[in-house]
Structure 1
Amino acid sequence: METTHGAEHVHVGRDGWLFLTAGSNNVVGQFSRSRLMARRVRGWRRLVVARVRGCERLGCRYLHVIVPEKLTVYDHKLSAGLRVKVRLSPALRLRRALFWHRSARRACLDLVGAFRAVRDARDLYFRTDSHWSFAGCDTAYRLICAACGAVPKDLSGEPQEWRQMAGDLGSKLTPPQSERWPIRGLQRDAVRVHASPIVELRERTGRADKLHVGAHVIYRNDAAGTDPRRVVLFGDSYAHFAPIMLTALIAETFAEVHFVWSSSLDWGYVERVRPDLVIGQVAERFMFELPDDRFDLKAYAAERFGTELAEAEAKSARKPGKNSDKSPGKKPGKAGTSVAGP
């Protein structure tokens, strides 16, 4: 198949399955016994142990959720010419490295085993995309609930619509490879009571799809039977701030959910919020780099988005009839909730 520039990073497997193989995270290269990956696994082991102990000191619990790479789960769908040794999966190596740290091993959920057990019964990822499908997200969600004693909600139902779409991998091929995507809105009872200024701005200007690290939202759920605990979820695009992935499922289950788009933990934020549960979610391919848990969400947002927000505020103030004293797009939150964020 003729490919466009960059498609050399995409492996065309069997039955329409596409796999990311390279790029900045050296995806296939992580399935190796290299000294670099050995150091990375040791670093992640220290990090998870430190997170578990740090949360214990604050009176909360930590869960570590690694979203397996498609290569780790659907290795039997690879075409001839590409093989990976699943036992060298960074996620599996980390769990083995935590063997003697019992509390940390319990905190590190085994999504690889759970996914491989049901991989032939359902598509846990979109075939043309690097991200998980609702089935994959829901499988992880139920494992999280089981680990912390929460009762999962059934939000499967019928999709609102189906769209023919090429994912982030399929769009790199010539011609693009597409598939039917079920479109689901997962938000039912939870209400978003806070979105950081950059989330509000990007949503208002139709650029939310370009927003990543530094996005921050808070959901409240006052429905009867909701688990009363407060959760802080640090994650990436597999969690997402929009009501389409893991954050929405967690928000439908717990009374208060804070989502921070970051692979690093902000310990100051955790100390201020005092959650019952902290979840660190990361895509397996991002284990190529170690997070820095000295992360400061407020400082990062000011540095990364300060100029953009100031320019948007100035532009809004110059519009006729606008009251420059009001924060554009700001919505009031519910009484008694931390709507402004810590």
Structure 2
Amino acid sequence: MSDIAVDYELLNDVARKAGKLKDEVHQARVKNKNYSVDDVGSRRAVTAIRSFYLTWQSAFKRSEGKLEKLKGQYEGVAKQWAELDFKLANDAAKQSASLSVDLHRTITEQWNAWHQAVEQYKKDHPDYKASDLPPEPERPGKRPSTWTTGDGKGNSTTTTYEYGADGKPSKITTKMTTKSGLKASDTTTYHPDGTYNATSTDVYGNVTTTKGTATAIENPEKRITKDVFSSSTKDPKGKKSTTKGTTTSVYYQKTGHRDSTSTYTSVGPDKDGNEQTVHGTSRSSVDLNGHEVITTIEVKKDGSGTKIVVTDGKTVEWTSDQADEDSGWVKTETK
């Protein structure tokens, strides 16, 4: 079966036009209908206009309702697909930026080590020959700070790094926008004591604030980072949900490969407004070339749940009544 391709930009544009048309129909329905002879030229015209509005008033009102429903349906579908696309774009942009920064740091460390070794060799061997020196490695160049990707149609994702005095990222911001006005963003600020705080807004207008503490252990082979976090999300109607969890990430210095595992618990309303608790585990693996696989399993209190695997942007989803046992999976959708 071929993959599904959805132009959510077109859907969102149709939703906006349906909303605009609904407003125009509403204005036509409620506008002044009591025209005088001086306004339209004859009493017969006045009667005809009043008769027209009386006859079609209910139809106008029904049209408003249908247009509002149509707007909601198209807008809902557009945002659902945009939410998935934005999440993938956000994760990919951050991974790409992080790998770029890690690679720059590795190249810098290698070049500095070479430079120190060469200077020491020159000092110890004043009569050295150029052929005695090891070849110079790649120079690090300018430290990267901004990455932007786009599709050439007005849709783009931009990630920006700000650095602290120690040379480490102190603030990371990612923004995603489309030509029809769909957007999402998040900003994370890192503090010298290892804590951080973040604020993100998704395509629905849900605002999430997060606080956490990150600790790292590093050696020449790899860097292991542990992140303990808690977050609170408020939707546009004021409903709240909370998430607490831990993420452990391993970055291999020589290969540029990164493996991460997150475990978390979320408490908040489901799609019907009923409070539920969900336990989740997410594992990701990404190499220097950007090849990435993310597997996320979420389990509800009754043991049912979902499994989502994203491979280089392609999503496959399963559901199961025995998700807590990681069995009984039934494939539901490919995107």
Higher gyration radius (CA): 2
* Same topology, TM > 0.5: no
Which of the two has greater strand per residue? 2
TM-score by length of 1: 0.30
Identify, as 1 or 2, the structure richer in helix: 1
Which structure has more relative contact order (CA 8 Å, sep 6+)? It is 1
Q: TM-score, normalised by structure 2?
A: 0.30
